[in-house]
Amino acid sequence: MMGRKPSTEEERAFLAYLRSGRDEMNLLEHSISSANKNVDRTTRSLGFSQDARDPETGEPVRRTWTVTFSAAYGRPVPKDDDVFVALMKVSQAQGLMDKPASGGVGAPQAYFTSRQLIRILGWGDNGRSYRAIDDALNRLCGVRIDATNYFYDNASKLWVDRKFGIIEDAYLYERAKYDRAKRRAVAAGEAHPQSWIRWSDVMYESFQAGYVRKLDIEFYRSLTNPIARKLFRYLGKQFWEKSARTKHEIDLVELCVEKLGYKQGTAIPELQRRVAPAIAELEASGVFGLRHQFDRRYGTCRVVFHRQRTKPKQQDKPAKGMVKTLVELGVRRQDAEAAVAKHAPGRIVEDIEDSAFREQRGMLKKSRAGFLAAMLRSDDPFPRPVGFVSSSDRTRQKQLAAAKQQATQRAAVEQASKKAERTAARDDAFLQFLESLGGEAEREAFADQALAAAKPLYRQQYRQRLAAGDKRAAEQFRRFAMMQLWQRTVKSSRQPALAS
């Protein structure tokens, strides 16, 4: 059901509302959601641990964080993170993150409608979005956390254990039932029905303690890669607005598995390949002035993120430039301003490029301006025509190709380095073997034995080079024969032979 079209001022107010979102910081350290859009019902639990010291005694302490998931609904997926972000926003707007005026017991309810969450996230108002919210609540309610030595009791001066969930209770209207309940409420002159959730007490305590950070949901939802959205939230904790920090370094496996939700046991090169598009999108967006580098060495890899200080973002100038572009293309100024207020810049640019693509190929039945205006009025992007590739996609493809080429070059260098190490180790072992033979007479006897047992090519080349007076080349072929016999001897004695 479509309501009254919001005015430009209402849209601007809504965007300001989105820019003042909130995020809970404890959950950013251990991702409850997977990196895969498909639901994982096989992983029942995940464990993370770290060594620390007791702040009172100084004794070493093992801290563990174990997450379990619903057997029926599985581990949350990246789309569930979006719903979590929207629920955090409505909770903040209702004052759940403000200090209570009087001491209450337990977490209060956060009220919402599914349509409200859909609007916050910029999703299409359709059945698929409503089902996604229902599925997300099922999975989020199924998450349980067992934290050992993770919470510090200031009164007793001790680390304590806590076992808790994320959402304690959810009261959700299914779409058709909500519409019926709303009609009855309107007829009776009553308030519209609302769904609600109740956060767990531990989550509510975290809100009250101020362990939340600001989150720009307008920017968050403009990111197309779900892993880029997860990484944006994590890096936002490291590079928060007033922080002077300009560098964050972390082990790649820890980042991908623990912070972003990739599967444990995934090989380092594969993790690097998978996370590269998310990093590329964040860097292309300009957020944090982000730059990165991978530091690979001997079976490990660290990723270093650099933050470049930039001047505060000016919201109005880019918006005015986008409105001007649309007006020059024939879109009415009123429609152009509404589109700029409603959509992320990337969406508008892609719609402009799409309309130009269709016009060049004679695919439009009406004017380009009219078609472009229709595209911009739609909540969801129009299906892109076959053969169309946006400039942002081309940029991403180039970045991915460059990242792949760099990865290939690094792999080749690493392979050559390992081969050189193996060759050096083999040569050292061979020299030790020759020294173990004793004197020169024993080594000469072994050399004669090696030539007799060598491949015919080695014997032939050795004799030819020796007859020609090329003693250096002859000695090289004799050495090949000796090494070949040594390797056979090592292999027959069941000692590990070193690869040539």
Task: Give the pLDDT score at 1.
Answer: 39
Report pLDDT for 278.
92
Separation of alpha carbons 395 and 281, rounded Å: 9
Query: CA neighbours within 13 Å on the CB side: how many for 421?
Result: 7
CA distance from start to end of the chain: 72
Distance (Å, rounded) from C-alpha 114 to C-alpha 342?
19
Q: Which fold has domain 225-312?
A: Arc Repressor Mutant, subunit A (1.10.10)
Domain assignments of the chain as residue spans, ordered by start:
8-222, 225-312, 316-388, 393-492
Tell me, what's the pLDDT at 154? 66
Taking only the tens place, the pLDDT of each residue in 297-323 is: 877 899 999 998 655 444 455 567 888
Question: What is the secondary structure of 108-157 as a DSSP string?
Answer: PEEEE-HHHHHHHHT--SSHHHHHHHHHHHHHHHT-EEEEEEEEEETTTT
Q: What residues are paired with 292 via a beta bridge?
A: 305
Q: Is 34 helix (H, G, I), strand (E, B) or coil?
A: coil
Q: Which residue has the tokens 């989105």?
A: 18
Instruction: From residue 164, give the alpha-carbon distance in Å to each of 69, 170, 198.
Output: 12, 16, 13
Q: Which helix (H) or strand (E) holds 467?
A: helix 456-467
311 and 252 Cβ atoms separated by less than 8 Å:
no
Six-digit token pair at 271? 């993790």
What integer pLDDT is reported at residue 222 of this predicted model?
A: 92
- Position 5 scores a pLDDT of 55
Q: Torsions phi, psi of 207, nearest 5?
A: -60, -45
Residue 181 to residue 195: CA distance in whole angstroms: 11
pLDDT of the residue at 493 = 67
Which whole-number Å values give the CA distances from 252 to 296, 299, 302, in the listed order? 9, 11, 5
Other residues' Cβ atoms within 10 Å of the Cβ of residue 24 = 21
Cα radius of gyration rounded to whole Å, the chain: 32
pLDDT in tens, the chain (500 residues): 344 555 567 777 888 889 999 999 989 999 999 999 999 999 999 999 888 887 777 888 899 999 999 999 999 999 999 999 999 999 999 999 886 644 555 678 999 999 999 999 999 989 899 999 999 999 999 999 999 988 777 677 778 899 999 999 999 887 777 778 778 877 777 778 889 999 999 999 889 888 899 999 999 999 999 999 999 999 999 998 777 789 999 999 999 999 999 999 999 999 999 999 999 999 988 899 999 999 988 778 999 999 986 554 444 555 678 888 888 888 999 888 888 888 888 889 899 999 999 999 999 888 998 899 998 988 888 888 888 888 888 887 887 787 778 777 777 767 776 777 777 778 778 888 888 888 888 888 888 888 888 888 878 888 888 898 888 888 888 888 888 888 888 777 654 444 44
Model pLDDT, residue 66 = 96
SS3 state at 456: helix
Q: Residues 215-228, buried b or exposed e (16+ Cβ, 10 A)? A: bbbbbbbbbbbbbb
C-alpha 335/C-alpha 371 separation (Å) is: 12
Pairing, β 300-306 against β 291-297: antiparallel
Residue with tokens 């991908």: 256
- Closest C-alpha among 346, 354, 359, 350 to residue 386: 354
Interatomic CA distance for residues 340 and 348, integer angstroms: 8
Give the per-residue pLDDT at 497.
45
